[in-house]
Structure 1
C-alpha cells in the first residue's frame, strides 16, 4: 500500500452563535408602592385627600366688617363673610377650604354672592315761618344716612333734598353720616304740603334709599 502525502483541509474558524439570556423588565415601583409591599397583611393605610366644598348656607349676603371661622366638626365650618374684595362689592366669589392635604377646587357648590347692603335715611323735621306776601322761604335741611345692614353711618356720599319736584340742595355726608344744606323754596310748595324728600342714589355696595321729612310752620 503506497502512502502519499496527506493534506488536511481546514475551513475558516467560526464561533458558535451567542445565546442571550432575556429577563422580563421589572417595572419601577413608586415609593408608596414600595411601602405598601412591606406593609403587614391586614393593615390599612389612610390617605390624605384635599377637602371639597359641597354646600354653602346661606349662599349670599352683605359684606361684613371682619372675617372669622370656626371648625364645628370634620364636615362643617361656620364662617363670617369678610369685607368685599373691591369697591364693586355685589357679585359672586369662590369659597375654598385649605388643609394640610390641599385646597378645595372651585365650583358652583362653593360660590357665595355678595349683596348690596340696605340703607336708611332719618331726616330731621324743619320748623319754618312764612310772612305775608312772602314768595320764598329759606330751608335748612339735614338727614342721617345709615348702613342698616352693618349698623354704621355712611360717610362721603351725596344726599339730595327736594320739596315736591323742586331740587333744594345736595350735601355730602360727614363721618357720622349726617348731610346738611340749605336752599330757597317757593312758598307755594310749602303751602301745598308737598313735604321734603331726602334721597341717596346708591353705590356698588349699598342700595338706594329715600325718606320724607316734615315741614312745620311755626
Structure 2
C-alpha cells in the first residue's frame, strides 16, 4: 500500500517507515498536518497514518479538514491518547481506525490489510481474479493453482492489478503506488516489473494498452 505517515517525532517516524517498508508498503513521511494536507492534494495514497499531537494543527483538525474537503482516503489515527472520548472523537471525525502507541508493527500491518480488503471488496486476506490468487498477509501467490515466487515489487504490481479486477491501470498510477517521493524512478521501471511477471505467469497474463496502461487477462493461463 502507498501510505502517508504524519508524525512529528522524527526517530519514531523513521522507525515506522523502515518497519512498514520491510513489510512491503511504500511510505512517505511528513512531520506536520499542514504538510500532510498539501501532499494529499498532490498525490494519491491508500491510507494516511495520522498522529494526533502535531505542532500548530492537531491530527484531529487535519482529519476534519480532510473530510470537509471530501477527501476519501482511509485514515488510521496513531496516538498515545487511549481514552474512549478521544477514540470516539477520532472516529466521529471520519477516521477508519485508531491505534494506540506503543503498538506492534504487525498489528498496524493487520489493520492496513483490513482497510485494503474493505476498499477492494474482498472478505478475507485472499484476493482473486481469474486464475490469479494472492494472500496479502503471507505474500503467497498462485497462478492456475501453482505457487509463484515474486519479489516485493512484483507482488505489489500484481496486487494493484488484481485490486483493479480487470480494469486498466495506468503507468502513472502504478508508479505512484510503487515509489516514494525520494525514489529515483527509471523511465521503464514499471515495464521491467511487468516483464518479470510475464516471465513467471505467462506472456499473455497482462495486456498492454499502448499509451494507456496495463490490464490483467482473466482468461490467461500459464505457458
TM-score class, shorter:
under 0.3
Q: TM-score, normalised by structure 1?
A: 0.23
Between Structure 1 and Structure 2, which shows a larger proportion of strand residues? 1
Q: TM-score, normalised by structure 2?
A: 0.23
